[in-house]
Amino acid sequence: MLAQASMGAPAKGSWGSYQARWGEGNKGIRYPLGAMRLIFGERDVPYQEARVVVLPVPYDLSLSFLPGARRGPEAILLASRELEPFLLELSVAPEEVGIYAAEPVPFVAGSAEKSHILIREAALAHLLAGKFVVALGGDHSITHPLVMAHREALGEFSILHIDAHADLYPEWQGSVYSHASPFYRLLQEGFPLVQVGIRAMDQDSLGLAREKGVGLFPAHRIHREGLPLKAILAALGRRVYISLDFDALDPAFMPSVGTPLPGGLSYRQVVDLLEAVFQEKEVVGMDFVELSPNGQFHAEMTAAQLVYHAIGLKGLQAGWLSPL
């Protein structure tokens, strides 16, 4: 049976408010999944009782190689139905924090700017309602409006960017809204940035990273020297937003991405990094992006498991969960 649930989000940020803002009959608006709300896992809770909101953002109009990231949120939500609710490693059931999967954020066909406004407004509505937001992309361009919404609601923080690509181009293919550019824009906004797992960046991006004091921990160094957790933690501020592109993982672990590159991180390395950050820092929000389903269901399960594990870590950090 398809995991579909009734609507229950607040009026602000709801489908009705989007239609009111952009025009109920506006044919430029696209409502992915037929405006249908799926649930995360097997337990749905009323919005008012949820601490965590999983926000699907199926926007991928800025992709430059393989398409399909708009189907990533749906794939993760459907795969989450097959997860074991209890995580042996953490000795908790993350679903007990109360997880509400919101309606997917619509986008405006032909307008990245308006689409990003919709993403920012949707995230902000949930943040102002006191929810911890876990966004599912979609391409990596969505991180910019998500981060700006978090700053507006929660104040300043540093960014942990886990990815194969630096995404530090001023623009790509003529657009500042490209998935290759969000962290250039965020650096210009003054955010401290730490990048882990990088294995693709050009000379200009490397120069910019050095100029701006980016904490850079490329994958080749990690493989040669080990995961430098102490150095990564030292480079981050007290409060952290985490943005993870699934292509940070090696294609052996994550084959379903739009821009795969060899030499990536293992699932265990990513989990160890997340656990260290949650133990030492206050994580204010997260996004997981660029899963492009291609028929390899183990990749979708891996993505869903990683998201669920991260929610469990937040539950432990915030005191919402107690291990057995």
Contact 232, 246 (CB under 8 A): no
Contact 110, 170 (CB under 8 A): no
What pLDDT is recorded for position 109?
80
Q: Where are the domains positioned within the chain?
A: 23-318
What pLDDT is recorded for position 25?
38
**Domain 23-318 coded CATH 3.50.50.60:** no
Burial of 20 (0-12, 13-18, 19+ CB in 10 A): exposed
In angstroms, the CA 262 to CA 272 distance is 20
pLDDT less than 50: residues of the chain? 1-27, 33-34
Q: What is the 3-state secondary structure (H, E, C) of the chain?
A: CCCECCCCCCCCCCHHHHHHHHCCCCCCEECHHHHCCECCCCCCCCHHHCCEEEEEECCCCCCCCCCCHHHHHHHHHHHHCCCCCCECCCCECHHHHCEEECCCCCEECCCHHHHHHHHHHHHHHHHHCCCEEEEEECCHHHHHHHHHHHHHHHCCCEEEEECCECCCCCCECCECCCCCCHHHHHHHCCCCEEEECCCECCHHHHHHHHHHCCEEECHHHHHHHCCCHHHHHHHCCCEEEEEEEHHHECCCCCCCECCCCCCCECHHHHHHHHHHHHHHCEEEEEEEECECCCCCHHHHHHHHHHHHHHHHHHHHHHCCCCCC
What pLDDT is recorded for position 68?
81
Contact 206, 192 (CB under 8 A): no
Nearest to 37 by CA among 59, 60, 14: 14
What pLDDT is recorded for position 22?
38
